[in-house]
Copies of this chain bind each other. A is one copy, B any other.
Amino acid sequence: MANMKEIARMAGVSLGTVSHVLNRSAPVREPLRRRVEEAVQAAGYQPSALARGLRRDKTNMIGMVIPDVTNPFFPAVVRGAEDTAFANGYRLVLCNTDNDHSKELVHLNELRTYLPSGLIVIPSDFSDLTRQAESYQRSGAAVVCVDRLPRRWHGDSVTAANEQGAHAATRYLIQLGHRRIAAITGPLHLTNSEQRLRGFRRAMAEADLPIAPEYLQESSFDLAGGRSRALLLLRMLPRPTAIFGGNDMIAMGVLQAIRELGLRCPEDVSVMGFDDLDFAALINPPLASVLQPGYQLGATAARILLDRVHGDGGPARHIVLPTELRIRESVAPPRASEAGAGKTRAGGARAAGRTTPRSRKKQ
């Protein structure tokens, strides 16, 4: 492919002029500009992204570092980021960390050599991002943190309203009449898990409901963890009438455990998830959940990053996107014999969440 010198020769102008036409970095008078544009057309010339990046000390790449694309929640975040980046001429380099902070470190170090404009990171467990980000920022690259934060993070971040979401979900269960509500949280060293737990606790406290310590189980964010903790919970006496899962995978595990024990959802146990993954509405019974706007999370992170690239030097922004309760058939009032004494039967609760159909997958 032709290079810029070639174009300059063809158009009979200097290198600088070609560059100025290409980048609008200086006014170029009509006749020259036209000649350059025609030469570019004729040669099918495209500037080398490498040479450009080398010279400018910055490329239009954005490093996207996430635990695992294969995890059903993350693709939406990636897609949101990619769309926004793409629309602005930026490209995403995708890195999976498997939640391993040493693998994350490798990616972070490697990525630097490409001089990306910035990084969008969903931190791994025990991430060292805070320190790494400093060196990026020193070299003018922006770093935005998404979904969960590493310890001591003070930079830009975009997260979901985990606490509110969990609070609303728990409150809904309480309004339905549940009193013995258990929770299976995700790993509590993750800020999002911890926030969800806090929301759960707050709702329970506000209703003056005690939380039996054994009703609080910590699990990994997966189906197996949810299932095993649910098996424990479901065998306790008295048995909880509702279980709040730290995410939808956990909730799926709960549903599985319920089936295995010959119990029924929602008749015997109500189940609430978190994330509202696509399949939540599709399973049987449809899973009530707290919608987390994955796409928006990614898109917003990219937006902030681009603002930084374009010179926004303001203080760190901490965007918290609203969550939304999606009520579905996996939650129902407890059996009459179980209903909280004196509690009304969730008169207004039904209005708290609406079920909106979602489906737009194509292959």
A4 to B278, CA, bound (A): 50
Known: A360-B222, A363-B73, A363-B222. A46 touches B109 (CB 8 A): yes
Residue in B closest to A91 when the chains form the complex, CB atoms = B93
Residue in B closest to A63 when the chains form the complex, CB atoms = B91
**Chain A interface, number of residues (Cβ within 8 angstroms):** 64
A86 to B93, CA, bound (A): 12
- Residues from chain B with a CB closer than 8 A to the CB of A283 are 279, 282-284
- Residues from chain B with a CB closer than 8 A to the CB of A278 are 72
Known: A50-B53, A94-B78, A110-B91. A249 touches B363 (CB 8 A): yes
- Residues from chain B with a CB closer than 8 A to the CB of A221 are 361-363
Nearest chain B CB to A165 CB, angstrom units: 15
> Which residues of A58-76 are within 8 A (CB) of B?
59, 61, 64, 67-76
A361 and B47 contact, CB distance less than 8 A: no
A294 to B48, CA, bound (A): 34
- Residues from chain B with a CB closer than 8 A to the CB of A224 are 359-360
Nearest chain B CB to A99 CB, angstrom units: 6
Contact flags A208-242 to B (C-beta < 8 A → 1, else 0): 00000000000011111000000000000000000
User: Contacting A222 at CB < 8 Å: which of B83, B92, B109, B362?
Assistant: B362
